[in-house]
Homo-oligomer: A and B are copies of this chain.
Amino acid sequence: MSTKSTDHIVKSFDSDLQHLSQVIAEMGGLAESQLSAAIDALIKRDSELAARVVQSDKRIDDLEQEIANFTVRILALRQPMAQDLREVIAAIKIASDLERIGDYAKNIAKRAIILNQQSPVRPVNSIPRMGAIAQQIVKGVLDAYIEKDADRAQAVWRRDEDVDEMYNSLFRELLTYMMEDPRNIGACTHLLFIGKNIERIGDHATNIAEIIYFLVHGKSLDESRPKGDTTNVAVGN
């Protein structure tokens, strides 16, 4: 029953896994560039770029579907065990996180289009900064996945706290702008959701880091997951 019973089967199962990794890398690269383009579109008030981001999301969705179909075929035909099985399950989970990251990037782009139709609010610098860190985190986990590097995954995982902290300060900043001038409320609300989207992107990248860690070590990252949205407290005072 082992997938390693003949060399032939070994070779093709390995090439299956390689194909999976390639599609994940492609999805990840797309998710990364979608996020970067969405933030660019927001900062440069470029609605055409934002519209392209919205359209391109379908490609990520299609790749997730491709991975879903392919993994079902692998599971049925190869019936992998132990580590091989973990690899396949990890690919399904990572694809689902990447699809969500793409969704959030699309949402940012949609909101950028609307914001571009309104007069600009005071520049909110924390959003591009948050976006840049989220991008680095996404890139970092993808590299960690390709190299099966659990240490790197763990290092990236810790950086998510920075994104959370920035979200908290963004939240306070935007609340102040809204109170200063109620005409800012509509735009600031969109910026608040954009910030939340970036924070969620960080969370999904963190998920991926946890999956990689488990894949390599067979046990979970046992520190409690960094979760830093303290806006509840910030507003509760």
> CB-defined interface of A70-99 with B at 8 Å, one 1/0 digit per residue?
001001100101100110010010001000
Please count how many residues in chain A sit with their CB below 8 Å of the partner chain's CB atoms.
35
Closest B residue to A111 by beta carbon equals: B232
Distance in angstroms from A189 CB to nearest chain B CB is 7
**Whose C-beta in chain B lies nearest to the C-beta of A68?**
B89
So how many copies of this chain end up in the complex?
2
Contact of A76 among B81, B92, B111 (CB under 8 A): B81
A88 to chain B, nearest CB (A): 9
Is A186 engaged at the interface, CB distance under 8 Å to the other chain? yes
List B contacts of A193 (CB < 8 A): 196
B178/A110 in contact, CB under 8 A:
no
* Chain B residues near A113 (CB-CB < 8 A): 232, 236
- Can you identify 24 A-B contacts, CB atoms within 8 angstroms? A1-B79, A72-B85, A72-B89, A75-B85, A75-B89, A76-B82, A76-B85, A79-B79, A92-B92, A96-B96, A110-B232, A111-B232, A113-B236, A114-B232, A114-B235, A114-B236, A175-B186, A178-B182, A178-B185, A182-B182, A185-B185, A186-B235, A190-B235, A193-B196
